[in-house]
Amino acid sequence: MGLYVIPLRQHIGAPCVPNVSEGEKVFRGQCIAEPNGLGAKIHASVSGRVVKITEGDIKIEGEFTEDEDYIKIKKCDSIADTAFEAGIVGAGGAGFPTHIKLKSEIPDGFVIANCVECEPILNHNIALIEEDPGLIVRGLQYAMEATKAPTGYIAIKSKNKKAIESLKKEIEDLKNIHIKELGDIYPVGEERAIIHEIFNLWLTPEQLPMEAKSVVMNGETLANLARAVEDRKPVIDKDITVAGKLKSGKDSNIFFQVPIGTSIASLIEQCGGIDGEFGEIVIGGPYTGKAGDIDNAVVTKISGGAIVTIPLPEFGGPLGLLVCACGADENRLKSIAGKMKAEVVATTNCKNLVEIRGANKCLTPGECPGQVQAVMELKRKGAERILIANCSDCTNTVMSCAPDLKIPVYHHTDHIFRTVDHELSRRLSLED
Nearest 5°: phi and psi at 101?
A: -60, -40
One residue of 71, 127, 394, 420 binding ligand SF4 per CB under 6 A: 394
CA distance 313 to 49: 45
* Candidate segments 6-14, 106-114, 154-162, 360-368, binder of ligand SF4 by CB under 6 A: 360-368
- Window 141-200: residues binding ligand SF4 (CB under 6 A): 187
When asked if residue 87 is in the footprint of ligand SF4 (CB under 6 A), the reply is no
DSSP state letters, 329-344:
-HHHHHHHHHHTT-EE
- 334/411 with CB nearer ligand SF4: 411
Partnered with residue 33 across adjacent β-strands are 18, 42
Binding mask 228-257 for ligand SF4 (x = CB under 6 A): ------------------------------
Based on the shown chain and the rule CB under 6 A, indicate whether residue 353 belongs to the binding site for ligand SF4.
yes
Our finding on whether 350 is near ligand SF4 (CB under 6 A) is yes
CA 196 to chain centre: 20
**Closest approach of Cβ 398 to ligand SF4, in Å?**
9
Taking CB atoms within 8 Å and a gap of at least 24, the contacts of 50-56 are 50/20, 50/21, 50/22, 50/23, 50/24, 50/25, 50/26, 51/3, 51/22, 51/23, 52/22, 53/18, 53/20, 53/21, 53/22, 55/8, 55/15, 56/7, 56/8, 56/9, 56/15
Torsions phi, psi for 273 (to 5 deg): 95, 175
Q: Does the footprint of ligand SF4 cover residue 368 (CB under 6 A)?
A: yes
121 versus 353: smaller Cβ distance to ligand SF4 = 353
Asked if residue 362 binds ligand SF4 (CB under 6 A), the reply is yes
**Residue 325 binds to ligand SF4 (criterion: CB under 6 A):** yes
| Span from 53-61, 146-154, 162-170, 321-329 in contact with ligand SF4 (CB under 6 A) | 321-329
Smallest distance from ligand SF4 to CB 185, Å? 10
Tell me the CA distances in angstroms from 161 to 127, 164, 229, one per residue in order: 12, 5, 29
**Total residues interacting with ligand SF4, rule: CB under 6 A:** 16
Residue 398 engages ligand SF4 in binding (rule: CB under 6 A): no
Its sign, for the CA torsion 186, 191, 195, 201, is negative
Contacts to ligand SF4 by CB under 6 A: 187, 324-327, 350, 352-353, 362, 365-366, 368-369, 390-391, 394
